[in-house]
């Protein structure tokens, strides 16, 4: 059974989905752009058979609050700060992170700040290497280099319903497997008054994530967390070399590619859940009644 709940962190009401026994090993699912915890709707009940699963909507996304930009700074550092507060508010002490797209720089900030809390990392098209960035990032990178009004306006095309749908179906072999309510919900939430400016602020701040790639990579080298990359190999934004690169810094990292696009869980959630169950089943062991990394 999935429970739909709210937690308040620094005055911000955060919506989240939760399933599975609270005594089981926990997995924190972190969504990306332009979606929300809704993207995990099929995975949560499947993972909830074995794990305590929690999937929050970050501020400005899904059904969480979207504070005014004058009162809240939409940066990835701030999103990570709120997500850290969220884990503490609901009592997540140790947990694996499943990170996708924007969820990767948020989750990896949590891991770097509190490595003792992280039992494993599952990255689904969640990048941490420059070779993983495709040419699809070129307009955003131009904005990083010259954050003027013209370059900002040029990015509004990323916020249209047409582009949102394209992100879901690009590279998918059978588009009838992609539920239309997924991209329609994202489009409706993007269309909320003021949300466009929130997303443009985050486009600009994504440069801070690339600047942190060396720090994330050092974390992989020094801490060697159990790490699994599950990747849609036809992702137009995050390329397969970004998945393979995890093995350079963490030789024990495991990489699995699926013949699909950016939103791999829309078409391959059963295969991805099976891969996660196998991976965590091998990497987490029970010691004195407590789950610890193998």
Q: Residue 284 has what pLDDT?
A: 85
Whole-number pLDDT of residue 285: 60
Report if residue 164 sits inside a domain.
no
Domain assignment present for residue 224? The answer is: yes
Domain containing residue 235: 3-134+209-293
> Would you place residue 40 in the very low, low, confident or very high pLDDT band (cuts 50, 70, 90)?
very high
Q: Is residue 178 part of a domain?
A: no
Query: Over 60: is that where the pLDDT of 176 sits?
Result: yes
Residue percentage of the chain with pLDDT more than 90: 96
Alpha-carbon distances, residue 128 vs 73, 153, 258, 292 (angstroms): 23, 27, 19, 25
Is a pLDDT exceeding 50 seen at residue 207?
yes
Looking at residue 286, its pLDDT comes to: 38
- Could you tell me if residue 177 is inside a domain? no
Whether 30 is in a domain gets the answer: yes
pLDDT at 222 over 60: yes
Catalytic-labelled residue, pool 38, 170, 262, 269? 262
What CATH number corresponds to the domain at position 252?
3.40.50.1820
Helix axes 161-169, 180-190, angle to 10 degrees: 150
Give backbone dihedrals phi and psi of 98, rounded to 5 degrees, phi first.
-110, 115
Q: Is 31 a catalytic residue?
A: no
CA–CA dist 96, 87 (Å, integer): 12
Question: What is the total count of domains within the chain?
Answer: 1
Please enumerate, as own/partner, the contacts of 12-15 that have beta carbons within 8 Å and a separation of 24 or more: 12/59, 12/64, 12/65, 12/67, 12/72, 12/82, 13/64, 13/65, 14/56, 14/57, 14/58, 14/59, 14/64, 14/65, 14/82, 14/86, 15/56, 15/57, 15/62, 15/63, 15/64
Rounded CA separation 158/195 (Å): 13
């Amino acid at each position: 059974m999935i429970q739909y709940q709210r937690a308040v962190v620094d005055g911000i009401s955060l919506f989240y989905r939760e399933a599975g026994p609270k005594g089981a090993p926990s997995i924190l699912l972190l969504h990306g752009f332009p979606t929300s915890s809704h993207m995990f709707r099929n995975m949560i009940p499947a993972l909830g058979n074995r794990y305590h699963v929690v999937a929050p909507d970050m501020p400005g996304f899904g059904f969480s609050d979207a504070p005014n930009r004058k009162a809240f700074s939409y940066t990835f550092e701030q999103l990570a700060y709120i997500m850290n507060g969220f884990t503490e508010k609901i009592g997540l002490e140790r947990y694996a992170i499943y990170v996708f797209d924007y969820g990767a720089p948020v989750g990896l900030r949590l891991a770097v700040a509190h490595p003792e809390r992280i039992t494993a990392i599952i990255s689904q098209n969640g990048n941490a290497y420059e070779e993983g960035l495709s040419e699809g990032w070129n307009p955003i990178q131009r904005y990083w280099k010259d954050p003027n009004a013209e370059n900002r306006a040029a990015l509004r095309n990323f916020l249209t319903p047409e582009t949102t749908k394209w992100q879901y179906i690009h590279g998918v072999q059978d588009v009838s497997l992609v539920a239309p309510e997924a991209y329609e919900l994202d489009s409706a939430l993007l269309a909320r008054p003021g949300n466009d400016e929130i997303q443009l602020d985050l486009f600009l701040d994504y440069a801070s994530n690339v600047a942190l790639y060396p720090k994330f990579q050092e974390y992989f080298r020094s801490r060697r967390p159990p790490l699994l990359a599950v990747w849609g190999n036809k992702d137009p934004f995050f390329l397969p070399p970004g998945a393979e690169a995890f093995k350079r810094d963490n030789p024990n990292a495991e990489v699995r590619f699926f013949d699909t696009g950016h939103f791999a869980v829309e078409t391959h959630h059963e295969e991805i859940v099976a891969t996660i169950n196998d991976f965590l089943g091998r990497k987490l062991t029970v010691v004195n009644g407590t789950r610890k990394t193998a």
